Chain A
Amino acid sequence: MKWLIAQFRRRLVSILMLLAMAGIWQILSTIYTAEAVPGEPMVPGWQIVFSRTLLSLSDYWQGGLGVPSVAEGAPQSYLAALLSILDHSVDTIVRLYVGLLIGGLVGSLLGMAVSWSPWTRRIVDLPVQLLRTLPLLAMVPMFQLWFGIDFVGKIAFVGYGVGVIFFAGVVNAVKNVPQIYIDNARTLGASRLQIYRTVVMPAIFPEMRGTILLSLGIGWAAVLGAEYLGAQSGLGYVIIYSEQFAYLDRMFVVALIFVFYASISYAIFDRLSRRLLQWTPQAGRVVAHG
C-alpha cells in the first residue's frame, strides 16, 4: 500500500513537472518576444500553437477524401490539418518500421553468422567498430546517390542504420553468453545448429533489449534524416519546409508529435519485452553485477 502511494505520488509529480514545462514555455514566449521573421515569434506560445499553427498545417494536405487542399484554393481548416498530420505520420511510420524490420533481420542474421566461430568474430570486430562510428546522418547524401530518393532509398538508409546497431549488438550478446550453457548443451549431444536455436538465441534476447531500444531511437533519427533531403511527404518533409521559412511554431508542433510517437513506441516495446522476458530470473530488475 505504501509502495502504491509512493508510486502514485511520483506519477503526480511527473505530470506536474510536464505541466510546469509547458508553463515555462508560455512564460518564455511572453518575456522573449523576438521574432525569427516578421510574424514568427522565436518562442511560439501555446495560444499560437493551438490556433494559427495547427490550422497552418493544413497547407501540407495534398487533397483527397473529399477535403480539398489549400493549394487548390480551399481555406485552411482543422480537418485538413488533422488529415495532413495523419497522412505524413503514416508515411514516416511506414518507412521507419519497414526499415527497422529489414535492418533488424539482416543485421541479426549477419551477426549470428559472424558469431559462428570466435575467429570470424575477432576479424569483424575492428571494421564494425569503424562502421559504427561513421556518422549515420552525415551519410544521407551517399544513400541518395546509391538508392535514389524514393521509397527504396529511405528504407535502405534506415535499414543500414538499424542493421549496424543490431549486428554489433548480436555479436556482443553472443560473446557474453556464459560458456557453461553451451558446454552443457554440447555435453548432452546438441549439434551446433541446435545450440544456436535453443541456447544462444533465447540467451541473447534479454541483452538485445537495450540494442532494440537504441535502434528505435536510431530508426527515428534515420527516417527523419532520409526525409530531410528530397522527400515529398513525411514529418521530416514538413519540418524542412517549415525551417526554410523559419516557421518555428510549425516545427514546434512536429517536434511535439515526435515526442508523442517516440514515447508510445518506447512504452509499447517496454510492455512487450517485459512480457516476453518473464521467464528470465531477473525479469523487470536491472541485472546487477556478479
Chain B
Amino acid sequence: MAQRFDVLGLIGLVLLVAVWQLLTFAIPLIALPHPAHVAERIGEDFIVADYLLFYGLPETGLLDSMIYTTQNVLIAVALGATVGTVCGLVTARFDLIRAVIDPVLLVLGTIPILVLAPFFLIWFGTGRTSAVLLVAIYVAVILYIYAQRAASTLNPVYEDAAYTLGASRRRVVWDVLIKGTVPQILGGIRIALAGAWGLEAIAELLGAQQGIGKIVQVLAGSTDMEGIFAALLVLGILAVVFDAFTARFFSYVSAWSVEARTGGG
C-alpha cells in the first residue's frame, strides 16, 4: 500500500488554484479572496499576527496556533485510540462486555460534536481538557468499531492453529489477536486522525483560548475572509502532511501483513 507520489495530483492542485482564481473574477473579493493574497497573508501572520492583539489575544501567530492545535489532536488521538482499541478487541471476544459497552460508545458517537461541546465547555472550561476529551471521544468510537470488526473478522484458523501448536492464551492474544488486527487498526487510526483536525478546530471555535479554531472564530466576527482562508488552508495542509506521514509510517509498520503484500486491503 506504499503510496507513490502522483505528479498528476500536483496538476490537480494547480487546477484547483486556477479555478479559485477564475472565481475571484465573478465573486467580490470580500467573499472570496485572491489566492495570492491568502498566501501573502499566511506569510505575514505566520510568526506574529498583529490583528489578534485587537481581539484581546496575547501576541501569537499561525505557527503557535498550529502547534497548539497539533498537540491537542495528537494527545486526543493517542488517548482515544488506546481506549477505543482496547475496548474493541475485548468486546469482540466477550459478548457480555460487548453488550455493556456497545450502547455507551455508539450512543456517544451519534451525538454531533456541536451538541456535546457546550456541555464539555461548561463542565471542564475552555482550556485544553474540553477540546482533547471531545476529540478523544469520537476517535475512541471510530477505533472501537474498527478494532471490533478487525478482531471478529480475523480468520479463526490463525487462533486455532496457534492453540493447536500449544500456545498459551496470553501468547495467542499477543501474537495472533493483537498483531493480526494491527493493519486494520492502523487504518482506523488514519481515518480518525484525518477527522480529528476538523473536530479539534470546531472545539476550539466554540470556546478556547488559542489554536487555529480560535483564530477562525475571532476573524469570523469581523468577516475577515482572507484571514479565515489563510487559517483554514494552513490547517488543511497540516492535516494532509500528517496523513501522508502516517500513511508512510503505517505501511512500513504493517509491511508484513498479507493485505499489504498482495496490494489489497
Contacts and interface: CB of A to CB of B under 8 A. Distances in A.
17 contacts: A13-B100, A17-B103, A125-B12, A126-B10, A130-B236, A135-B199, A137-B202, A138-B213, A138-B216, A138-B232, A221-B113, A221-B114, A224-B112, A239-B118, A248-B122, A259-B111, A288-B155
Interface string B107-130: 100111111101100110000000
A135 B198 CA distance: 4
B149 interface: yes
Given A14-B102, A146-B31, A286-B149, A135 B201 contact: yes
Contacts of B36: none
Interface residues of B, number: 62
Contact of A125 (B9, B32, B123): B9
A136 B112 CA distance: 13
Contacts of B235: 133-135, 138
A239 B118 CA distance: 9
Interface in B1-59: 6, 8-13, 15-16, 27, 30-32
Interface of A: 6, 9-10, 13-14, 17-18, 21, 36, 42, 119, 122-127, 129-130, 132-142, 145-146, 217, 220-221, 224-225, 228, 236, 239, 243, 246, 248, 251-252, 254-255, 258-259, 262-263, 266, 286, 288-290
A139 B232 contact: yes
A286 to B, nearest CB: 5
B264 interface: yes
Interface SS of chain A: helix, strand, loop or mixed?
Answer: helix
Of the listed residues A6, A9, A137, the one surrounded by the most CB atoms of chain B closer than 10 A to its CB is A137
Interface in B91-106: 95-96, 98-100, 102-104
A171 B120 CA distance: 37
Contacts of A42: 122-123
Interface stretch (B79-87, B158-166, B220-228): B220-228
Contacts of A18: 103, 107
Contact of B194 (A132, A239, A251): A132
A129 B115 contact: no
Contacts of B123: 42
Given A224-B114, A248-B119, A123 B197 contact: no
B110 A36 contact: no
Nearest to A140: B220
A36 B32 CA distance: 40
Contacts of B104: 17, 21
B168 to A, nearest CB: 27
B240 interface: yes
A37 B20 CA distance: 47
Contact of B153 (A6, A262, A266, A286): A286
A123 to B, nearest CB: 4
B76 to A, nearest CB: 14
Given A135-B232, A224-B112, A126 B9 contact: yes
* Closest 10 pairs (CB-CB, A-B): A126-B9, A135-B198, A13-B99, A141-B220, A133-B239, A135-B201, A122-B8, A262-B110, A137-B202, A123-B12
A130 B107 CA distance: 30
Given A246-B122, A262-B110, A126 B99 contact: no
Contacts of A146: 27, 31-32
Nearest to A132: B194
B64 interface: no
Nearest to B215: A138
B259 interface: yes
Contact of B201 (A9, A126, A138, A290): A138
Contact of B122 (A36, A119, A133): A36
